[in-house]
Amino acid sequence: MKPESRLLQNIVTRSSSPWMDGSGGSADVVISGRVRLARNLRDQKFPHLLDERSAKSVMDSVALAVNQMNGKEAVPPMTFVPLDDVSSLDRQVLVEKHLLSPQHAQPGRGRALVTRPDEKMAIMVNEEDHVRLQCLHSGLGLETALADAMAVDDLLDEVLDFAFDERSGYLTACPTNVGTGLRASVMVHLPALALADEVGRVLSAVNKLGLVVRGLYGEGTEGTGNVYQISNQITLGQTEKEIVEKLTLVANQVVAEEQRCRDDLLETKRATVEDLVWRAWGILTSARIMSSSEAVKLWSEVRLGVESGIVHGTDMKGINEILVISQPNFVMKSSGHALTPEERDYRRAHLIRQHLASV
C-alpha cells in the first residue's frame, strides 16, 4: 500500500481525531478551533477557471512545495493525496471528519488533500482557491492554530509564488476572502443555552458583532447536536492576529454564557438534567437501531453530562468520537460494503454500543 493510501485508510477508519480529543482551553464548551488560510498561485487562474492541464500543474507545484517542506523538519511531514485516487465513499468520510469541504469531495479535475496522521493540518488543493490550508486545534486555541498554520504557510511560501497585492493582501477567488485569506472559527457546544431556550439570543448577539454562525456541518445544520461554528466574516483591514483575538474574545463570552446557564440549570433543575443525560446514555448504550440525527442529539446530552461532571470515568475524547461514528459514510466505511439506510441505522447502533463499552 502506498504511504498516501495507508494514511488515508487510517484516517477514514478511525473515529478519533486528535483535534477533537477534549484537550485545550474551555474544552467543556469549545470543541475545537480552526484557522484557514486561502492562497493562490500568482501565475495560474483561479481553480474554477483552470483547464485540466493547468489544474494538474497547480497540483504538481503544491506537491513539490510540500515535499520540500517535509525535508525541513520544522513542522511534522504532510502527505499529498490526489483525490482522483480516493473512492467516493472515502471522500465523504473525509467530509464527515472535517478534512474536506463537501464541494471538494465532488469528483473534479486536479483536486488533492494534503494532511498528516494527526489530522490537525490539512491543505485542500484546487478547492475554491489553489491552496486552502487549515489547522484544527482541540479547545479554544486559535492563537496556536494560527501560529501553526502560518508556519506551514511560510514554508510553502518559500517555494510557491502566492498572489499577493501590497494594498489588498492575498488575492482569492472569492472577494470575501481577499486580504488575510483567513477564516478563523470555533466550534462550540451549547446544550444548556439550548435547554434554556437562550441560544437564539446569544447567537444573534454574536451575529451583530460581525461574526457568522453556522451549524456542525456548515450552513443548514444549525442546532444539530447543539453545536455551532462561529467564524469571522471580514478578512480585510485587520491583521490575522486581530481577527483571531476578536473571535477569541467573543468565544469567551459565549463560553461564559453557556457556563452560567449550566450552573443555573444544575442548581435549579439538577434532577431534570441528570435524567436527560442518563437517559441519553442508556439509549446510546442499548439501542439496536439509531439514526444519525438521534445519535448526534443523544451525543449532545451525554456530552453535557461529561461537561457538568454528571458522567464520570468517561473522557471527552471518547464521547466526541460518537460524533464521527454517527455519520452515515463513516458507518458505511466501517462495514466494508454498501448498506441500506436500515442496515446503516442498525450498524450505527452497534458501533456506538461497542465504542461506549470501551470508553
Q: Which residues sit at the interface with its own copies, rule CB under 8 A? A: 271-272, 274-275, 278-279, 281-289, 342, 346, 349
Of 260 and 353, the one with the shorter C-beta distance to its own copies is: 353
Of 88 and 354, the one with the shorter C-beta distance to its own copies is: 354
CB of 284 to its own copies, least distance (A): 8
Of 195 and 255, the one with the shorter C-beta distance to its own copies is: 195
Q: How far is it, in rounded angstroms, from Cα 292 to Cα 237?
A: 41
CB of 283 to its own copies, least distance (A): 5
Of 199 and 284, the one with the shorter C-beta distance to its own copies is: 284
Of 192, 145, 185, which is closest to residue 29 (Cα–Cα)? Answer: 192
CB of 310 to its own copies, least distance (A): 9
CB of 31 to its own copies, least distance (A): 24
Of 139, 138, 163, 154, which is closest to residue 46 (Cα–Cα)? Answer: 163
Q: How far is it, in rounded angstroms, from Cα 21 to Cα 27?
A: 9
CB of 280 to its own copies, least distance (A): 8
Cβ pair 247, 211 in contact under 8 A? yes
C-beta contacts of 246-249 below 8 A and 24+ residues apart? 246/209, 247/142, 247/184, 247/185, 247/186, 247/211, 248/140, 248/142, 248/143, 248/186
CB of 340 to its own copies, least distance (A): 12
CB of 318 to its own copies, least distance (A): 18
Q: How far is it, in rounded angstroms, from Cα 121 to Cα 101?
A: 14
CB of 353 to its own copies, least distance (A): 9
Q: In what order do the strands lie in the sheet with 121-125?
A: 79-82, 112-115, 121-125, 131-138, 30-39, 182-189, 227-232, 211-215
Of 73 and 342, the one with the shorter C-beta distance to its own copies is: 342
Query: Facing residues of 115 across strands?
Result: 79, 122
Residue 341 CB-half CA count within 13 A: 3
Of 182 and 319, the one with the shorter C-beta distance to its own copies is: 319
Of 80 and 346, the one with the shorter C-beta distance to its own copies is: 346
Of 29 and 277, the one with the shorter C-beta distance to its own copies is: 277
Of 214 and 269, the one with the shorter C-beta distance to its own copies is: 269
Alpha-helical (H) ranges within the chain are: 3-13, 52-70, 88-96, 142-157, 191-195, 199-208, 240-268, 270-284, 292-307, 316-325, 328-335, 341-358
Of 124 and 356, the one with the shorter C-beta distance to its own copies is: 356
Q: Phi and psi of 215, rounded to 5°? A: -90, -175
CB of 279 to its own copies, least distance (A): 5
Q: Could you tell me the maximum CA-CA distance found in the chain, to the nearest angstrom?
A: 64
Query: Would you call 248 helix, strand, or coil by DSSP?
Result: helix
CB of 359 to its own copies, least distance (A): 16
The secondary structure of the chain in percent helix, strand, coil, rounded to multiples of 5, reads 50, 15, 35
